[in-house]
A and B are shown apart, each in its own frame.
Chain A
Amino acid sequence: MTCEEFAIAGLDLGSPEQDGPLQRAAREHLRECPHCAALHENWLTLRQDLRGLGAETAEAETPSRVEMRLRQEFRRHKTVKTQRAAFVLGWGLAAAAVLTFAFTWMNWRMHRSANVADTQPNVVHAPASNTSTAPRPSTDSDSGEVLLASNNVGDFTLLPDSMPPAPEDATIVRVQMQRAALAALGLTVNEEHAGDWIQVDLLVGDDGLPQAVRLPQTVQQSTN
């Protein structure tokens, strides 16, 4: 072991941190080198002083007032935490109650408007019925109007030589025509009013040909 190595590792001589061979080498060097022996001597004295210094405060503990302060802080923090939890819980419950009320009210409103819609006669937004001539929303290729009509099958009169269309193929188209044009569909027309313009609902099949016809209530009243 050289003096430099001793300066690094030799001061741990006798300490459990140093392994056996290193200790042996350090002891051997101590015997041979008076300079390192003096250094070691100084270090032992200093270490004794350091240990003495450590012993002065070996039993030192935090004053009891610190424990009291910490316990007070702990209690205060616990109270604050409980209050915060109660606050959050309270607001959470209030928010849940408001949401429940709002949801119930909206549900009630929707239910109510649906009931009102059901009681309205004739032209409504209605889904296709499961009957054979059920109508559905459609586009009128002639007039460009989009019309919805009642799905009341009984209102329609089948045109001569036509079959009732399947419900998924049926389209109701409202058109305006002269009453005389109904004769072209095979219907009988009162000649006195043959020149009148009337509105007619045509039930059009998927081939684009009218299969049935219906006169809206007002027109029927006026034609009669």
Chain B
Amino acid sequence: MQIQAHETDDALLKRAAKGDERAFTELYRRHQAPLYRFAVRMTGSSWAAEEIVQDVFMMLVREPKKYDPDRGTLGAFLYGVTRNRIMKHLERTPRDFSLDDAGDACRESHPQLHEQMTPARWAELRERREQVRAAVMDLPSEFREAIVLCELEEMSYDEAARALDCPVGTIRSRLHRGRALLLAKLEMLRDTPKRANVGRR
């Protein structure tokens, strides 16, 4: 059976629940990227993100009835499940962040940038990014997810509120706290002697 581009997620999920593999594949392709990015940015690990996204879609294969269309969109539901998996992962491994892993991801995603810059400039940029990344990863998870969704993912407050299933006001306050914490942390890092940064790695 052909998949129509405008076919809704709910219709695709129904077909997938009846055993239509193409419908399931289409659903996966529609939703995997933002979920993966969210998981990568929250966990700081591409391996963990891969595992989390796989778990989320496995759940959709095995228990498609867990999703109730009356309670929201499939996208929001998948975000919610991903978020729960991320939280479990963070509880299990509270500080599972590899700068090398993140650096590799950066190099892979911007090969031209890497080639165009001088080594000194590249090192400086990389150091700065790593500081920011480390500061984001140090945030408490509720502030981190607000920062990830609204600043890194560039979602609107409404979209973030829907994804996290919370009021817009909660997003605003978490963002405010998260930004303040980030600023404080990065100001502190800037004033810290270089040696301390190296030691931190």
Which residues of A line the B interface, CB within 8 A? 7-8, 11, 16-17, 39, 42-43, 46-47, 49-63, 66-67, 69-71, 73-75, 77-78, 81-82
Within the assembled complex, what's the spacing in Å between the Cα atoms of A16 and B133? 25
**Among listed B4-12, B31-39, B89-97, interface-contacting one:** B31-39
- Contact yes or no, A57 B105, CB < 8 A: yes
Partner of A53, one of B152, B156, B186: B152
Partner of B180, one of A7, A17, A49, A50: A7
Asked if B14 is at the interface of the complex by the 8 Å CB criterion, the answer is no
- Contact yes or no, B33 A61, CB < 8 A: yes
Q: Which residues from chain A contact B57 at a C-beta distance below 8 Å?
A: 66, 70
For the complex with contacts A42-B187, A49-B128, A59-B109, 17 further pairs of A-B residues with Cβ separation under 8 Å are A7-B180, A8-B176, A46-B179, A46-B183, A50-B152, A51-B151, A54-B152, A56-B129, A62-B53, A63-B50, A66-B53, A67-B25, A67-B29, A67-B32, A70-B28, A75-B21, A77-B61
Asked if B62 is at the interface of the complex by the 8 Å CB criterion, the answer is yes
Q: Which residues from chain A contact B129 at a C-beta distance below 8 Å?
A: 49, 52-53, 56
- Contact yes or no, B21 A57, CB < 8 A: no
Q: Which of A39, A46, A73 has the most CB of B within 10 A?
A: A46
Nearest B residue to A8 via CB reads B176
Give the distance to chain A from B161, nearest Cβ to Cβ, in Å: 11
1/0 per residue, CB under 8 A from A, across B134-165: the answer is 00100000000001000111101100000000
The answer to whether A56 and B21 touch (CB under 8 A), given A47-B151, A66-B53, is no
Asked if B40 is at the interface of the complex by the 8 Å CB criterion, the answer is yes
- Contact yes or no, B133 A53, CB < 8 A: yes
The answer to whether A71 and B50 touch (CB under 8 A), given A46-B182, A77-B61, is no
Q: Which residues from chain B contact A54 at a C-beta distance below 8 Å?
A: 41, 151-154
Nearest A residue to B51 via CB reads A66
Asked if B24 is at the interface of the complex by the 8 Å CB criterion, the answer is yes
Which residues of B line the A interface, CB within 8 A? 16, 19, 21, 24-25, 28-29, 32-33, 35-37, 40-41, 46, 49-50, 53-54, 57-58, 61-62, 105-106, 109-110, 128-129, 132-133, 136, 147, 151-154, 156-157, 176, 179-180, 182-183, 186-187
Within the assembled complex, what's the spacing in Å between the Cα atoms of A11 and B147? 13
- Contact yes or no, B136 A43, CB < 8 A: no
Within the assembled complex, what's the spacing in Å between the Cα atoms of A71 and B41? 26
- Contact yes or no, B21 A74, CB < 8 A: yes
The answer to whether A16 and B156 touch (CB under 8 A), given A57-B109, A58-B37, A67-B25, is yes
- Contact yes or no, B28 A11, CB < 8 A: no
Q: Which residues from chain B contact A46 at a C-beta distance below 8 Å?
A: 132, 179, 182-183, 186
Q: Which of A54, A55, A70 has the most CB of B within 10 A?
A: A70
Within the assembled complex, what's the spacing in Å between the Cα atoms of A33 and B187? 20
> Across chains A and B, which 8 residue pairs bring their CB atoms closest together, nearest first?
A54-B152, A50-B151, A62-B36, A49-B132, A62-B32, A56-B106, A78-B19, A61-B33
